[in-house]
Structure 1
Amino acid sequence: MPSIAKHNEVITVIIIFAVEPEQQQELINTIVEFVEADVKHQPGFVSSSLHKSLDGIRVLNYAQWKTLEDYKAFLNNSEIQARGAAKLANFHLLDSRVYEVTISLPESADLTISPGRLIHLGEFRMKPENQSRLIELERENVTIALEHPDLLSANFHRSLDGTRTMNYGFWQTLDNFELLVKEPKFAPVREYWQGLSENEFHLYEVVFTEPHE
């Protein structure tokens, strides 16, 4: 099974599609077909993990490649890109960027990505000059978030272009997720990014991984 690379042994590509709920499964099936037929056979491919948002309006691909050069070679393969574009032409690509892991806590956490796991993805969009400061604040506040009894780990990623950070959080259950957005003790987690970035989050379930085991 894939896992979060705590020490940046790989580069991470986070690809997000916006979708109508009635098309969510169709998009997942289409991406699985493309990954199995083409992507997994490319030099440097490590893993692809598909997530469906619980509200039905997002599909997330958390992909890993050995090096940035491997990923660029994949992007520059015109034949494969043409096949992918044809398969995905009817779906809206919302965002696609290259990331590295900057924070992964607690140290003892199980970071395996496997079907059925529940994920909170916090998306932070900022000007490049604000990214470093935001990462500092994320590091300062992550321990507060981890006081939530159901949050298993927080894994912050920074985009190489400087315009994003992403918090990929593993959850045991989402039944009590609202504590994070309502309880006073978590107020710093809800506020530290204000003035530096725009924030949005969605809750996901992992539905597919390649490799499977």
Structure 2
Amino acid sequence: MPTLATNNEAIAVIIIFRVEPDRQTKLLETIAEFLETVKEQPGFISSSIHKSLDGVKVANYAQWQSVEDYEAFLNDADVQAKAAKLRTFSPPDAHTYEIFISESKVGTPQIQTGEYVVHIAEFRMSPENQPAMVELAKEHVKPAMELPELISATFHRSFDGTRVINYGHWRDSSAIEELRKQPGFGSESPYWEGIAENEFHLYEVLFTEPAT
């Protein structure tokens, strides 16, 4: 199973699709079909497919050995031709990341099916604001981890400076509302105000595909 740790040698590629609820299942089927090609590519490690509980997002958390391997995959015309069906959906938000915080109550967090509800928070910012967002995340992750239902929180920063993503594990889908009641985490005066825009969704992990 993929692990989420600051000492991972792999890079993370997080790809988030926005989709109409009535097309979410079709998108998931299309991604699964294309993964049969992806998992054979040099440098590919794993791909974990998530669907949002509200039906409007699909997230692919992939791991590759290096940025160079991932870019070679993107630049392979034959491989990308096989992704034609994916391009009938809205363009995804796709970036390469490194992990800079990983807090957990259960050892090294893992991506696996059926155990936790996944919370993916997408912070979008201009590159000059990413360092400030990173410091704010470091400051606020420990207070959040005091909530008993939050099992882990793993923060990623994109190499292009425009994203920070928190991948969290929760015991149940209602528990996150307790976090939103805490100072700095709700809609009023959130800790990222003026630095980033935030959107979050709750997901279930459907499956994890390793390399061939």
Q: Same fold (TM over 0.5)?
A: yes
The TM-score by the shorter chain falls in which range?
over 0.9
Q: Which amino acid aligns with 1:95?
A: D
Aligned-pair identity in percent equals 54
Shift of the alpha carbon at 1:110?
4.1
Deviations 1:46-82 (A, max 9, x none): 0000000000000000010001111111111110011
User: Which segments of 5 or more consecutive residues in structure 2 lack a partner in the other structure?
Assistant: none
Aligned residue pairs, count? 207
State the Cα deviation string for residues 125-164 of structure 1 (Å, max 9, x = none).
1111110111011101101111111110110000000011
- For residues 151-208 of structure 1, the C-alpha deviation after alignment (integer angstroms, 9 at most, x for no partner) is 10110000000011000001121232211112xxx21334211010111111110001
- CA–CA distance in 1 between the matches of 2:168 and 2:105? 14
Residues in 2 aligned to 1:202 and 1:149: alpha-carbon distance in whole angstroms: 20
Secondary structure of 1:62's counterpart equals strand
Superposed counterparts of 1:31-50, under 5 Å: 31-36=31-36, 38-50=37-49
Q: Is the 8 A contact 2:121 2:200 kept in 1?
A: yes
Query: Is 1:8 matched with 2:11?
Result: no
Query: One-letter code of the match for 2:102?
Result: S
1:28-177 alignment runs, 5 A limit? 28-36=28-36, 38-84=37-83, 86-106=84-104, 108-116=106-114, 117-177=116-176
CA contact (8 A) 1:49 1:209 kept: yes
* Amino acid of the structure 2 residue aligned with 1:178: E
Query: One-letter code of the match for 1:27?
Result: L
Match of 1:188 in 2: 184
Counterpart AA for 2:21: P
Q: Distance between the aligned counterparts of 2:72 and 2:95, measured in 1? A: 15
RMSD: 1.5
- The aligned residue for residue 27 of structure 1 is 27
**Deviation per CA, 1:68-121, whole angstroms, max 9, x where unpaired?**
11111111111001111x121221123000110010013753411112231101
Q: Which runs of 5+ in 1 are unaligned?
A: none
Amino acid at match of 1:14: I
Q: Secondary structure at the match of 1:174?
A: coil
Aligned to 2:185, the other structure's residue is in SS state: helix
**Match for 1:198: what amino acid?**
E
TM-score by length of 1: 0.93
Residues 99, 158 of structure 1: 8 Å contact kept: yes
SS of the equivalent of 2:39 reads helix
Q: 2:106·2:151 contact (CA, 8 Å) conserved in 1?
A: no
Q: Is the 8 A contact 1:146 1:152 kept in 2?
A: yes
- What residue identity is the alignment partner of 2:92? L
